[in-house]
Chain A
Amino acid sequence: MPDLTSNTAGIISPNPFWLASAPPTNSGRQIMRAFEAGWGGAVWKTLGQPIQNVSSRFGGIHWRGERAAGFNNVELITDRSLEANFKEMAEVKRLFPKHAVISSLMVETKEEWKEVVKRSIDAGADGIELNFGCPHGMCERGMGSAVGQEPKVNQEITSWVKEYSSIPVLVKLTPNVGDIVPHGLAAQAGGADGVSLINTIKSIIGVDLEKMAPQPVVGNKGSNGGYCGAAVRPIALHMVAALARDPGFNIPISGIGGVTNWRDAVEFIALGSSSVQVCTEVMLRGYRIVEDMIDGLTRFMTEQGYETIDQMVGKAIPAYSEWGDLNINFESVAKIDAEKCIGCNRCMVACHDGAHQCIHPNPDGGLTPVVDESECVGCNLCEIVCPVPDCITMTEVDNGYAATTWNEHMTSGTKIRPKKGSHGYDMP
C-alpha cells in the first residue's frame, strides 16, 4: 500500500489533495465536512478586512454539452469577520489535528500582516499562504495580483511575513505575468518556504448578447474576473514546470489549476508539485470527488511501483525540454486501423484543411481514408480528431537519419531529414 502522505515545505497532510482558498473553504463547518470526505488539507478562504461582494459572481463556459468546462468568478476575499474565521480555524485544528490547515491572507500594511500572521499561528494553522494572485477587485485596491505582478513588492511583503511567522509560508503566484520564473524567484528571495500556483487568470468569461455586457452581469454591467476550471490546466502545468525546472528555484510547489481527478493531480506532481489544490471541480460537484482521487492515485502508485508521493514529484521534469533540444530527426506517421475505422472522414477533412493534405479518400471506394506516408508529417491532428479509440496511431518511422537537434544543427551542422508535407494539394 503506497503512502499518500504529502509534505509541502513542512506542511504535512495525510494525502496531497488540498482544497484551494475559495468558496469551498469559506467556513470551519465546510472544511470539517471536507476533511470527513477525505481531503488532506484546506487553504482557508482568504482572510483580510471583510468585503462586500456583488451578485452574481460566477460564470461558466458551457461547451458542446459540458457545463462549465471553464469557470470564472468576480468574488473577493472573505466577507466574514477575522474573529469568526480564526475561532473556527482553531476548532477545525482541534478536531482534525492531522489534517493541514493553511491560512490564506491578504492585507495591506505591515502592521496588518503582523496581526493576521500572529492570529493564524495562534489558531493552530499549519502554514500560511499569501494571496498575491487575485486578478479582480482586490488588485484595484493595491492587493492580490497587484502585489504578485511586482517582484520587488512580492519579495518585500514575503519578507515581512517571514519575519513574523514561525510556520511555513507559501506565496500564491498569479499567472497574469509574462514569465512566471522571476516571480517565483522573488518569493524565494523574500524567504518563502514554498509557492503555490496558479491563481486565476484575468478573463471575461463571455458576453451576454441580449444585454451586451460582459458576464457575469451585475445589474447591467460586468467586470473581468478570474478564469479557472479544467480549461486552464495546461497553462498551470506549464507554469508549475517552468519553476520546477529552473535551476535557481529550489523551494517546494503546491500545484493549482484545473485539477479534476487523480490523473490531473499526478500530472501536477510529475511536473514538480508536492501537493495539489482543487477548487472549481469541488464547486461543481462537491467534496465527494476526493474519494476517487484517493482511490485512483493509490491504484496508480501501486501499479507503477511508487511508494511515496515524493518519489513522483518532478518525475517528468527531466523530459521537459526546450524545443531546440528535441530530436528533430525523429519521424512518425499516422496509421489508420481499417478494422476500427467508422468512415466519418474527420481525419481527412482535418488533414486537408488544417494540416498537410496527406489523407485521401480510399481509392477503392472503401470507407477508410488512406494516409500518404510520404507526405505525412506526423503532426497528430488526425489522431486527435478521430472519435474511435486507438484507431489512428502515430507510428515511428526509421528514416535512417541519426538523432540530432535543431540547436546541434545550428551549432555543429548536423544533418537533418528532408521536410515533408504536401502544399497546395486539392482534395478530389
Chain B
Amino acid sequence: MNQKLPANRAELVFEDFKKPYSEQQARAEANRCLYCYDAPCIQACPTEIDIPTFIRRIANENVEGAAKTIFDSNILGMSCARVCPVETLCVGSCVYNHMDASPIQIGKLQRYATDAAFDAGLSFYEAGEDTGKSVVCIGGGPASLAAAHRLRRFGHKVTIIEKDHYLGGLNTTGIASYKMKADRSLTEVEWLMSIGGIEVRSGISVPDQMSWADLQAEFDAIFVGFGLGEDSLLSLEGADSKGIMGAVDFIAKMKLGMVDLSSVQHAIVIGGGNTALDAVRELKGLGIDNVTLAYRGGEAQMSGYAHEWSEAKREGVSASWRSQPLAFIHNNGKLTGVEFQLMDENKKAIDGQTKTLNADLVLLAIGQGKLGALTSGLTGIEVEKGKIVTDAHGATGAKGVYAGGDCRNGGKEVVNAVAEGDQAAQAMHTFIMGGGSCRT
C-alpha cells in the first residue's frame, strides 16, 4: 500500500488556521480547565472523549496518558482535534461560555496530546487474540478505519476495501487544507494500521468489481462505510461549460495534486453548507481575488457553521444571498458568468428578478449524489432519504451487515463517522461472537 503523495500539491500554500500549542501554552490552558463533574463537553462529543480527564493529565505532565484517554474513545483523535467543529461541539459547550469567559480550547489541547503521542511513536494498542472470524469494511474513510481498528483489537481478521488509491476518505481528500492537509491524514492511517493484520484491497469498488454476494461468501460480517456518491451537479443551460466542477471533486484535486487557477479571476461557489464554506475559504487562500458564495437562502438560513462564515467574510469572501442559478453563461464553451434567479425570504422565486455575476470558475457544493445503486443487490438493506437505515447500533436490515459514517447519517462530521464506526464494530463483535454470520 503505497500512500505517498506527490511532492507538489496545491494545498501546500495553506498554513494551519489554528496554530499548535507549545508545551507552556498547553499547560497553561490545561490548568484553566475547571475539571467539571459530568462535564457538558463530554456529552457534546459524539465519541464521548473523557475531556476533563485528558486535560488534567496534560496539566499534570502526563501527556502520553492524555493521548491514551483520547484514543480510547476516538482512534482518529489526532485528526478530529484538527477538523472537528469544536465551536459547536465540545468548546461550544464549555461551562466558561456561561460566564462570558473564554472557553477551554479543547481541540488545540487534543492536538497537543495526540501529536505528542505520534511524535513519540506510541500506538498504544495491540490486535486481540485471533478469533478465527473474518470481517470486511467497505470504504477506507474514518468510519471504516475506526471500525477496522476496533474489530482488529477484538482479534478478528479485518479487510478494508477502498475504491480509490488513498485511505482516509474525506479526511484525506476533503478536509479544508487550513485545518489539515492530506499528508497528515495519511500519517494517521499509517499509525492506525500499525496495529497490524488489516488487509487493504484498493482500487476495488463495491458492488461493481466485488459483488455483495462475493462479500457475503467471504466474510462473517460486513461494515458499510463508503460515504456518499459524487458531487451533485445542475442540469442547466450551459452546464457542460469548461470551468464548472463539483466542490468535493475540486478540493480532492487540490489536496492530492495541482490545480491550474492561473486564468481564474472570479470564482463562485454555489451552496450554503460547510463544503461551500470550505471551498470559498480555500479559493481565497489559493489566491483568487474575487470569491463569491451564492446561496438560494439568506445568511441566517445557511446550514454552514456561522464561525466558518465569519472567518470567510474576514478573509474577503463576498456573498450573493437568495440567488438560485438559472443558467451558465459561456463563450465558446468556456464559462464567463452565471445568471441567477432571485428568491424571496422563503426561498421562492421572485418573478422577473434575475442577476448575472461574472465567473470563470464555479464550484457546486449542493450536496453529494445519494446512494441507491451502491446498495442494490443486497437483500434486506433499506435506503431512506439517501441514508442507509440502521438500528441504534448500526445494524442494517441485511443480516450481519452494518453501516456507519456519511452513508448512514447523510453527511456529518468525521467525529460522527468515528463514533458510528466504533459503535458498529462493537455490535458486529457481539454478533459474530454469538455465532452470527452474514455468509449465505
Contact = CB atoms under 8 A, between A and B. Distances in A.
A117 B309 CA distance: 77
B82 interface: no
Contacts of B32: 65
B40 A65 contact: no
Contact of A388 (B28, B35, B99): B99
Contacts of A343: 36, 40, 95, 98
A342 B31 contact: no
Interface residues of B, number: 17
A345 B99 contact: no
B351 interface: no
A416 interface: no
Contacts of B35: 346
Q: How large is the interface on A (under 10, 10 to 19, 20 to 34, 35 or more residues)?
A: 10 to 19
Contacts of A65: 27-28, 31-32
A342 B59 contact: no
Interface string B40-64: 1000000000000000000100000
B34 A346 contact: yes
B34 A387 contact: yes
A177 interface: no
A342 B36 CA distance: 10
B38 interface: yes
B17 interface: no
Interface string B87-129: 0000000011111000000000000000000000000000000
Contact of B37 (A342, A349, A367, A388): A349
Interface in A339-370: 340-346, 348-349, 361, 367
Given A64-B59, A388-B99, A344 B27 contact: no
Contact of A345 (B27, B28, B37, B98): B37
A64 B98 CA distance: 23
Contact of B38 (A64, A340, A341, A345): A345
B95 A342 contact: yes
Contacts of B31: 64-65
Interface string A52-87: 000000000000110000000000000000000000
Contacts of A345: 36-39
Contacts of B96: 342
Contacts of A64: 31, 59
A367 B39 CA distance: 11
Nearest to A389: B99
Given A64-B59, A388-B99, A346 B27 contact: no
B28 A344 contact: no
B336 to A, nearest CB: 55
Nearest to A350: B37
A346 B28 CA distance: 20
A344 B95 contact: yes
Nearest to A66: B31
Nearest to A348: B37
Interface in B187-238: none
Interface of A: 64-65, 340-346, 348-349, 361, 367, 387-388
Given A64-B59, A65-B31, A345-B38, 19 more contacts: A65-B27, A65-B32, A342-B96, A342-B99, A343-B40, A343-B98, A344-B34, A344-B39, A344-B95, A345-B36, A345-B37, A345-B39, A346-B34, A346-B35, A348-B37, A361-B38, A367-B40, A387-B99, A388-B99
Closest 10 CB pairs of A and B: A342-B98, A349-B37, A65-B31, A345-B37, A342-B95, A344-B36, A344-B95, A64-B31, A344-B34, A342-B99
20 contacts: A64-B31, A64-B59, A65-B27, A65-B31, A65-B32, A340-B99, A341-B98, A342-B95, A342-B96, A342-B97, A342-B98, A342-B99, A344-B34, A344-B36, A344-B95, A346-B34, A346-B35, A349-B37, A367-B98, A388-B99
